[in-house]
Amino acid sequence: MFNRTLYSLEKKKELCQYARKFGGKIFHGNSLDLITKLKDKKMALGLIDGNHNAKIVRREISFFLKRLSIGGIIFLHDTYRNASLLLKDRAKADPEIINSKKWVGDTYTVRQRLEGMKDIQTFTWPYTAMNCGLTMVMKLDPDRSYYEK
């Protein structure tokens, strides 16, 4: 019915086995490697949850927004500022938290920038996704006047 391909990216090779259950193409590595392989692909749905560094997440978002279909959605994890600040304080006492699954980094700054863009619409659930925040980014149709902000 739909002409689609599922792409999955996982840095930890052992977790690739879970993605294989869904079929599609699986990449082992980091997002910047995947970006070079998907440069001509369009997408309708995406999830970014990985590196907690705003600089890298900005590159990922920039790449995927250009390829996102009108009405397409990207979910971005770790976007709640309070979770980031709380963990930053904890990291002062326990530097190992930065290497743990609890670290959310500065991804919330990417969400803040996205909220100011006119060609997308965002919505954030702050207390979901392990209380780290989940932001939905939808690409708007510039030809539909009711989308004008």
What's the pLDDT tens digit per position in 21-41?
777 777 777 777 787 777 788
- Beta carbons of 115 and 137 less than 8 angstroms apart: no
Which pLDDT score is estimated for 94?
Answer: 63
Q: In CATH, what class is 45-147?
A: alpha beta
Which pLDDT score is estimated for 46?
Answer: 87
The stretches in the chain having pLDDT less than 50 are 1
| Token pair 């599609």 in the structure block, residue | 24
pTM of the full structure: 0.77
Which pLDDT score is estimated for 112?
Answer: 92
CA distance 48 to 138: 14
For the chain, how far is it from start to end, CA to CA, in angstroms? 35
Tokens of 130: 């392990």
Which pLDDT score is estimated for 61?
Answer: 92
Q: Where are the domains of the chain?
A: 1-41, 45-147
Which pLDDT score is estimated for 127?
Answer: 80
Q: In angstroms, what CA-CA distances link 3 with 10, 26, 46, 146?
A: 23, 18, 16, 29
DSSP 41-85: --EEEEEE-S---HHHHHHHHHHHHHHEEEEEEEEEES--HHHHH
- Beta carbons of 7 and 25 less than 8 angstroms apart: yes
Which pLDDT score is estimated for 29?
Answer: 75
State the DSSP H helix or E strand holding residue 125, giving kind and residue range, or none if neither.
Answer: strand 120-125
Residue 25: alpha-carbon gap to chain centroid: 19
